[in-house]
Amino acid sequence: MTIRAFFEAVKIEQAQPPYDTLHLKIFYPAQFNQSEQEQNLGIIPAAPAQAPFPVVIFFNGVNCETKSYQWLMEKLARRGLVVVGFNWIAENIPGIIGLTPGFDVEKWKPNLYGTGATASALPALLTKLEQLQQQGILAGKLDLEKVIIGGHSAGGKVAIESANPDFFPQIAASFAYGAHMLGGVNFGYEPKTVLPLPDSLPLLLMGGTCDGVIANSTQRYGMSERDSTYSVMQTFSEGITGGRKDSYLLLLEGANHFSLTHPFDETTGTAFLDFPPTQSETKIRSLITDIIILFINAHVRHQSQALQKLQQLLTTTHPLIHSYQQK
């Protein structure tokens, strides 16, 4: 299968220039047709037999470029998905400029949390998908009732906490790696407070047993102990009620905070806080890919065979699966 990508740009109305533009890279399954447009402009049409495509919107971690997740986006596109990644240079916090997944800090405060989506880029991205459905390479080929939002670190946090059909009825599921829902004491939360998730759609929450960024940031949440998995586990334990058997917690043996990124860029952000991985990161990324694809096929595409394979993978002894829970 051929995977192609094209670029787009989106304005964020509430942001101030020059920090008000998202630069998108959109991956899709393609099929060569030897047309003049293909030969002269490099524009390859989408593979018609696989349409309509469910869409994955991926939210990067802070100061993590889209190219660090391209390996994952290409693999998802090979399974018949359109995948949207973006770079947004803006103020993560006042006075600090960097790459951001886009989060509404006000919506994290105790009196406002849960009243709206924290993913500040999401409305504009969904509007762009509607435009792409009307014209261009992907016109008429998107399944906009099956939009999955996922992400890494802070990007994973805004994805899973914004996966609320009351705000966005087109969202069908969410996933995150290296994210948790403990409320910061600087926002006024009591230590170890777990903020509730929408808990109405399928959820895949993943973390690593060697996550040094989470372990070395626990003081933000009123904790004195350093622990790589406590915050993630408490998110699953206290943040959702479950009961539908479509929510999963997966802890990966030997994975660290940046195991999801490749190539790894240690020149920005808090890479220095991380612990070294103790397992092959190539194998970790391969397992993460398999789990995400099976999760989407089982709970968004509703493929019974995928659900069986997902259950088999999670319940069979695997050297990279430290533990898993389902509810």
The amino acid sitting at 272 is: F
According to DSSP, the residues that pair with 326 across neighbouring strands are 248
SS3 for 102? Answer: coil
Q: Which residue has the tokens 């040094």?
A: 212
- Token readout for 295 is 């999760």
Q: How confident is the chain (327 residues) per 10-residue block, as mean pLDDT?
A: 95 93 98 75 86 98 97 98 98 86 93 94 98 97 98 98 97 98 96 97 98 97 95 98 97 98 91 96 98 98 97 94 97
Give the position of tokens 């990161």.
281
Smallest Cα–Cα separation from 81: which of 148, 169, 168, 7?
148
| SS percent in the chain: helix, strand, coil, step 5 | 30, 25, 45
> What pLDDT does 36 receive?
66
If phi over 0 gives left and psi between -120 and 50 gives alpha, with beta otherwise, what is residue 215? alpha
Fold of domain 2-326: Rossmann fold (3.40.50)
Residue type, 320: L
104's CB contacts (< 8 A; 6+ apart) are: 116, 117, 118, 119, 120
DSSP state of 237: H
H or E, element range at 143: strand 142-152
According to DSSP, residue 15 is labeled S
Cβ atoms of 279 and 259 closer than 8 Å: no
| CA pair distance 210, 20, nearest whole angstrom | 35
The single-letter code of the amino acid at 263 is: P
Q: Please report the pLDDT score of residue 313 as a whole number.
A: 95
Helices (H), the chain: 36-41, 70-77, 122-134, 154-162, 212-215, 230-238, 281-299, 304-315
What are the structure tokens assigned to 112, written together? Answer: 């406002």
Q: Where are the domains of the chain?
A: 2-326
d(CA 228, CA 257): 9
Calpha distance 295→173 (Å, rounded): 9
pLDDT at 201: 98
Q: Which of 276, 145, 257 is nearest to 206 (CA)?
A: 257
Residue 100 CA, distance from chain mean position: 13
Q: Is 300 helix (H, G, I), strand (E, B) or coil?
A: coil
181 vs 161: CA distance, rounded Å: 8
d(CA 83, CA 26): 6
Q: Is residue 255 within 8 Å of residue 232, measured between CB atoms? A: no
Helix (H, G, I), strand (E, B) or coil at 48: helix
Give every CB contact of residue 84 below 8 A, 6+ residues apart in sequence: 24, 25, 26, 27, 55, 56, 57, 58, 125, 129
* Predicted local distance difference test score (pLDDT) of residue 40: 64
Checking DSSP bridges between strand 321-326 and strand 247-252, what pairing results, if any?
antiparallel
Q: What local confidence, expressed as pLDDT, does residue 155 receive?
A: 98
